[in-house]
Copies of this chain bind each other. A is one copy, B any other.
Amino acid sequence: MVEQEKKEDNKLKDNGKDGIDADVLFTEFKEHSVADFFKKNRQMLGLYGKQRTLTTIVHELVTNSLDACEEAGILPDIEVKISEIGDEFYEIGVIDNGPGIPEEKIGSALGKLLAGTKFHRLVQTRGQQGIGVSGIILFSQITTGKPTKVISGTNTGKTISLEISIDSKTNTPKITDKHYLDKKFRGTAIRSKFKEIQYKKGQASVDEYLRRTAIANPHATIKFEDPFQEITEYKRTVKVMPKIPSAVKPHPRGVTVDEMLSLARYTPARKISSYLTITFDRFGQSAVDNVEKLVHFDLNKDPRKMTWEEAEEIVHAIKETKFIAPNTDNLVPIGEEFIEKSLKSIVSPEFCFVYTRKPSVYKGGYAFQIEVGLAYGGNAGRLISVEVPAVPVKKTKDKNGKVVIVKEEQETQKEVRASEVIRYANKAPLLFDTGGCAITKTVDSIDWKRYGISNFDNSPTTVFVNVISVHIPYTSAGKSAIADEEEIVSEIKLALQDVARRLGIYIIQLKREAEKKEKRKVFAKYAPEVVKALVHTTGADGKLLQKNLDKMVLEKLKMDDEAEARGEKIHDDYSEDKLAADDE
């Protein structure tokens, strides 16, 4: 025993014999299944609050369908239907045209928590935990006692219909009423009943969720029938299938010692050197050579016999070694062109700027990439209220001396809009836990005034941010917010600054145009009065005066335009130089 340990052990005191014996206390000791854990703690899956729960259910089903279609290279056609059965009692059905689930896998894919194809691989998918849909099926059965109906058809198999529920004590699926359908079908259809949920419109609604899904997935057609049988259909604006995201090897930068060892246990490589090049992304021979120089043992050693200390040495050596940035092939952004198309079609703003950053990597060696869009004016932002201005009136008398009320030129009613931030993780919208999310925090940290948006909260702005990664660092199993990893925050900020700068230039132009228009309006309004007064006092020719005055006005405005064209500053508050100098 080491000296230090002895010293520590000496601290242990004889505490006597009071209190209840441990043996008695531990008679209640039990082990629990992960299904029981989430059944008791469903708030951790985002299943709390009547509206939030409903939206989360649709979210889990739709992301599952989108992932399945994309993995199989199929342009998604998704139908969502919500029917009201009773008070706070609904049936929700989702049908997709995805690859379907093989017959023998349906049980564990849908009726077992922590099972699936996503958890252990580094692939950019919306789901990543193997909890989502099985959690939903569990929630259905604990609120209604009913199993969930599933129909699945694959390219090669028959069309299967069955009902599924979960034995939460053992986290295993229970399948009933299994039979084959004559009908040819490829895809997955899930129909499930739920209580303690409520359908409402608004910011956190299924409608808003699907609108945002459509924005970020322009290659998908999504049809939604709400409980009032009203149908909304978002047709795909892009008819090309996005690249199929492939699984990625971990990038050496950020790999932990524990991972270095765990991965070595199952490698087919016989030497640590080849284990490194096989297992990690961008680990070439020159990197191996450099690591070899820095460690105190032979890289020809069997990787399965690597000790913790040796793995630690390798991880330290990796920090001193240059690596190319992660392979960008594994990340599939929506793409600037498609985001723009989508925002224009669904948000219809006046201006729209988009930017897809280059891929980067955050702690743990996970590749990620940021896409942003900034839509301004038009229907951008959230509609808060419509102001119908009082019509100004003027009382005059007609020739008979009667009072006549004349309505002045009527202004059109004014829509009041507020800014909105629409957040995405791997193209799936995030609607909840706004305050705790890295995206919201970063948007809040931008000094929008610099870019000509003087009151960001009350401006007609839609900020679109999509974080894509092979592993999104969610703050909880409910997957509603992204943890503020330093590298991710920094990339979001740079991307937002870029689009904000470009928007800023347009806002300046807008302000100039508005001022010019105002000038013209003022001239047009007062010129006839001036003419009238001059005619009255000097007796000059009114028509000639008016003509000359118009000419003067036009020349003055033209001079302004020319000065502007020459690049002379007419306004001081916003200049392109200022915007350009804004980078930190």
**Which A residues have a C-beta under 8 Å from some C-beta of B?**
5, 8-9, 11-23, 25-26, 28-34, 36-37, 40-41, 43-44, 48, 68-69, 71-74, 77, 79, 93, 95, 97-102, 105, 108-109, 112, 114-117, 119-121, 129-130, 141-146, 149, 151, 153-157, 159, 161, 181, 183-187, 189, 191, 244, 256-258, 261, 308, 311-312, 433, 435-436, 471, 473-478, 483
Contact = CB atoms under 8 A, between A and B. Distances in A.
A524 to B, nearest CB: 52
A184 B14 contact: yes
A473 to B, nearest CB: 6
A116 B100 CA distance: 39
Given A117-B26, A256-B142, A258-B142, A20 B72 contact: yes
Contacts of A5: 149
Contacts of A99: 19-22, 25
Nearest to A11: B95
Contacts of A74: 15, 18-19
Q: Which of A19, A41, A112 has the most CB of B within 10 A?
A: A19
Given A20-B73, A108-B31, A145 B312 contact: yes
Given A12-B151, A29-B117, A93-B8, A22 B102 contact: yes
The complex is assembled from copies of this chain, and their number is 2
A275 to B, nearest CB: 18
Contact of A29 (B29, B73, B116, B184): B116
Given A142-B258, A435-B435, A476-B477, 6 more contacts: A14-B185, A20-B99, A22-B157, A23-B102, A43-B473, A475-B476
B41 A258 contact: no
B141 A15 contact: no
- What are the 10 closest A-B residue pairs judged by CB atoms, nearest first? A145-B308, A19-B72, A19-B74, A142-B258, A22-B154, A15-B97, A22-B99, A12-B185, A15-B186, A31-B115
Contacts of A8: 93, 189, 191
A435 B475 CA distance: 14
Contacts of A311: 145
B114 A23 contact: no
A483 B22 contact: no
B191 A105 contact: no
A72 B474 CA distance: 38
Contacts of A157: 22
5 contacts: A9-B151, A12-B95, A16-B186, A19-B74, A25-B72
Given A28-B121, A29-B117, A22 B151 contact: no
A28 B121 CA distance: 9
A97 to B, nearest CB: 4
Contacts of A116: 29-30
A114 B44 CA distance: 15
A120 B32 contact: yes
Contacts of A483: 43, 48
A19 B155 contact: yes
B115 A21 contact: no
A22 B256 contact: no
A156 B436 contact: no
A117 B30 contact: yes
B476 A44 contact: yes
A525 to B, nearest CB: 49
A311 to B, nearest CB: 8
B436 A129 contact: no
A121 to B, nearest CB: 6
Contacts of A477: 41, 44, 476-477
Given A155-B19, A477-B41, A34 B31 contact: no
B155 A22 contact: yes
B13 A155 contact: no
Nearest to A101: B22
B25 A141 contact: no
A120 B109 CA distance: 27
B156 A37 contact: no
Contacts of A43: 473-475, 483
Contacts of A154: 21-23
A170 to B, nearest CB: 13
A29 B110 CA distance: 12
A549 B170 CA distance: 90
B97 A187 contact: no
Contacts of A141: 258
A17 B121 CA distance: 26
A218 to B, nearest CB: 19
Given A97-B13, A145-B261, A477-B44, A117 B18 contact: no
Contact of A115 (B32, B68, B114, B433): B32
Nearest to A79: B11
Contacts of A17: 155, 186
Contacts of A144: 308
A478 B41 CA distance: 12
Given A11-B79, A116-B29, A155 B21 contact: yes
Nearest to A364: B40
B29 A119 contact: no
A189 B7 CA distance: 13
